[in-house]
Chain A
Amino acid sequence: MTASLLPPEFADLEPFAASWCLPSEPERWARRLTSTMAEMQAFYDACFPRAEDAIRYCDAFPLHELPEEAARLLDLLSSLALVSYPVEVWRQPLPIDTGAARIDRIAEPRP
């Protein structure tokens, strides 16, 4: 058994942590494009009901002094926000009518 990545209060989300605790949008985007809809739906279904509690957990700390486990929880929430589009809106991994277009995020705040 490897050490847990998330705070113990969120042990139920641990099965998704290795895949979705990714610290940058390019990594999360790449994961989205290499995931099946079933994988993203399973992650969404498990994580969405826990999201409000997870946000409150993170907000017990100043944003720029998050302990590592809380920072990973925030990364997980960012992944949830990203997969919400395939799950809630498009019903497919990419936006409808994207064609060959790609748009890269080249800078973002951290955390």
Chain B
Amino acid sequence: MTEFPRPAEGTWTEHYPELGTGPVAFEDSVAPEFFELERDAIFRRAWLNVGRVDDLPRPGTWFTKDLVAARTSLLVVRDMDGDVRAFHNVCRHRGNKLVWVDDPRQDSSGGARQFACKYHGWRYGLDGVCTYVHQRDEFFGLDQLHLALAPVHCEVWAGFIFVNLEPEPRQTLREFLGPLVGTLEEFPFHLMTERYSFRAENASNWKVFIDAFQEYYHVPPLHTAQLGPVHRNPEATFEGAHYQLDGPHRVVSTSGSLKHRWPAEALYPSEALLRSGNTGPWDAPELGAPLAGVNPGGVERWGIDNFQVFPNLEILVYERGWYLSYRFWPTSHRTHVFEADLWFVPATTARERLAREYAAITVKEYALQDAGTLDGTQLGLESRAFAEFPLNDQEILVRHFHKSVGDWVREYRSVGTAGAPA
């Protein structure tokens, strides 16, 4: 007996026969050599989201983004024409990391008319072209070199800034995102400019962490407290309302917990007081139009879409008119940096501020449970006690993600052995 209609095949997984239904190996999450392959096969070939246009509010604003997995640092800047550009954050002269503040291993941001290298004082415009060489006359044949920063392909979709480190990307950003993620473009991201940001360094493989954010099967047992003070049943079941795959990307839609419809006695006192909680503030902002770009499966009583944009971006859009984005940046085969941003229409009253604050607090409380538990998952997987693991129909996105990662790595290796440049 299912709560939501399923495809004709009877299960979501069998609706996508290429996935199979057999047990899955997670060697891709524990083997150092697999991470070395991912660095080139995925992080130097896929479009990667490195920020939002909100990070670059005016011409001359910039931020740096260390991409450890891709072995580079980027300098992302809004030029004087208002266009967003990305460069390798490396001086043309002797390869010094160009822009940093106090510590070259920390990301930074700011505003500038030009960039000057700390080492020998070479300067660059916002378009990356070198504008000043200190003691130019001492050099040899400098005029024969193109003196500019190394550009990186950079495109903006729905306000999300993406880069691609391939010399010539095989797909445009929109081709890469495909029609499923493309439907989200209509969502009013531009109205949601008030941000709460979190950062964590987690002791697990990046995919192990993503896996916990693309299935809700774990919610009743691990996050039993989320169900409220009275309905603490760890054997409660969960069923996604709609699953859909498109290329390497995937989505799950749910009806959310819709706590604003629950009786007060089933809520924590602070949820009732602040009218907010794990699905965000209960009172939606005035957006002037129904939410667009959501609910690709046409779910009744729709509450949340969880878009998993390959390889490492998650966008969660909520029926109450706000969104969350997560990014997961591997730093080794068993560590990653986790970035979370909650985005709201700006609060205008203290009551709205507190509802948003409580939502931001709540995200951290439960993400800490995930982070602690997934440290344990990493340790368990590394024991190699089991070679393969069973996945149920509610874990279809986990199955699809690891298959997609494997496909990208396999395709990269086959191209590599055919003699194409690595």
For the complex, is A3 an interface residue (Cβ under 8 Å from B)?
no
A95-B270 contact, Cβ under 8 Å, with A59-B351, A62-B348, A104-B199: no
**Chain A contacts of B369 at CB under 8 A?**
95-98
Binary flags per residue of B262-275, CB closer than 8 Å to A gives 1, else 0: 00000011100110
**Chain A contacts of B348 at CB under 8 A?**
62-63
In contact, A55 and B198 (Cβ under 8 angstroms): no
**Chain A contacts of B197 at CB under 8 A?**
105-108
Cα separation A59 to B347 with both chains bound (whole Å): 12
Cα separation A63 to B269 with both chains bound (whole Å): 24
**Chain B contacts of A94 at CB under 8 A?**
368
A101-B200 contact, Cβ under 8 Å, with A52-B273, A77-B354: yes
Q: Considering the complex, give the chain B residue whose CB is closest to the CB of A81.
A: B358
Binary flags per residue of A26-52, CB closer than 8 Å to B gives 1, else 0: 000000000000000000000010011
Q: How far is the CB of B338 from chain A (nearest CB, A)?
A: 7
In contact, B338 and A109 (Cβ under 8 angstroms): no
For the complex, is B203 an interface residue (Cβ under 8 Å from A)?
yes
The tally of residues in A whose CB lies under 8 Å from a CB in B reads 39
In contact, B196 and A88 (Cβ under 8 angstroms): no
**Chain B contacts of A100 at CB under 8 A?**
203, 372, 375
In contact, B357 and A81 (Cβ under 8 angstroms): yes
Q: Which residue of the partner chain, among A25, A55, A103, contacts B371 with CB atoms under 8 Å?
A: A103
For the complex, is B283 an interface residue (Cβ under 8 Å from A)?
no
**Chain A contacts of B157 at CB under 8 A?**
none
Q: Which residue of the partner chain, among B198, B270, B274, contacts A105 with CB atoms under 8 Å?
A: B198
- Categorize the interface residue count of chain B: 35 or more
A95-B365 contact, Cβ under 8 Å, with A88-B268, A103-B338: yes
Cα separation A45 to B14 with both chains bound (whole Å): 53
In contact, A90 and B225 (Cβ under 8 angstroms): yes
Cα separation A70 to B351 with both chains bound (whole Å): 13
For the complex, is A58 an interface residue (Cβ under 8 Å from B)?
yes
Cα separation A62 to B192 with both chains bound (whole Å): 20
Q: Which residue of the partner chain, among A58, A66, A98, contacts B368 with CB atoms under 8 Å?
A: A98
Cα separation A55 to B270 with both chains bound (whole Å): 13
In contact, A89 and B365 (Cβ under 8 angstroms): yes
**Chain A contacts of B200 at CB under 8 A?**
101-104
Q: Considering the complex, give the chain B residue whose CB is closest to the CB of A70.
A: B350
In contact, B354 and A103 (Cβ under 8 angstroms): no
In contact, A103 and B367 (Cβ under 8 angstroms): yes
Kindly identify, within residues 54 to 93 of chain A, every residue whose CB is under 8 Å from any CB belonging to chain B: 55, 58-59, 62-63, 66, 70, 74, 77-78, 80-82, 84-85, 88-90
For the complex, is A111 an interface residue (Cβ under 8 Å from B)?
yes
In contact, B353 and A88 (Cβ under 8 angstroms): no
Q: How far is the CB of B309 from chain A (nearest CB, A)?
A: 22
**Chain A contacts of B365 at CB under 8 A?**
85, 89-90, 95
Binary flags per residue of B183-225, CB closer than 8 Å to A gives 1, else 0: 0000000000011111110110000000000000000001001
In contact, B270 and A103 (Cβ under 8 angstroms): no
**Chain A contacts of B380 at CB under 8 A?**
none
In contact, A63 and B347 (Cβ under 8 angstroms): yes
In contact, B347 and A55 (Cβ under 8 angstroms): no
In contact, B269 and A88 (Cβ under 8 angstroms): yes
**Chain B contacts of A85 at CB under 8 A?**
361-362, 365
Cα separation A52 to B270 with both chains bound (whole Å): 11
**Chain B contacts of A25 at CB under 8 A?**
360-361
Central interface residue in A66, A98, A107, by most chain B CB within 10 Å = A98
Cα separation A108 to B346 with both chains bound (whole Å): 12
Q: Considering the complex, give the chain B residue whose CB is closest to the CB of A60.
A: B350
Cα separation A93 to B350 with both chains bound (whole Å): 26
Binary flags per residue of B224-253, CB closer than 8 Å to A gives 1, else 0: 010001000000000000000000000000
**Chain A contacts of B199 at CB under 8 A?**
103-104, 106
For the complex, is B178 an interface residue (Cβ under 8 Å from A)?
no
**Chain A residues packing against B (C-beta within 8 Å):** 25, 48, 51-52, 55, 58-59, 62-63, 66, 70, 74, 77-78, 80-82, 84-85, 88-90, 94-109, 111
29 contacts between A and B (CB under 8 A): A52-B273, A55-B350, A62-B348, A63-B352, A74-B354, A78-B357, A81-B274, A84-B269, A88-B270, A89-B229, A89-B268, A94-B368, A95-B365, A95-B366, A95-B368, A95-B372, A97-B369, A97-B373, A99-B376, A100-B203, A101-B375, A103-B200, A103-B367, A103-B371, A104-B200, A105-B364, A106-B198, A107-B196, A109-B195
Q: Which 4 A-B pairs have the closest CB atoms?
A: A101-B371, A58-B350, A99-B372, A84-B270
Q: Given contacts A82-B361, A89-B268, could you give 4 more A-B pairs where the C-beta distance is less than 8 Å? A: A74-B353, A96-B225, A104-B199, A109-B196
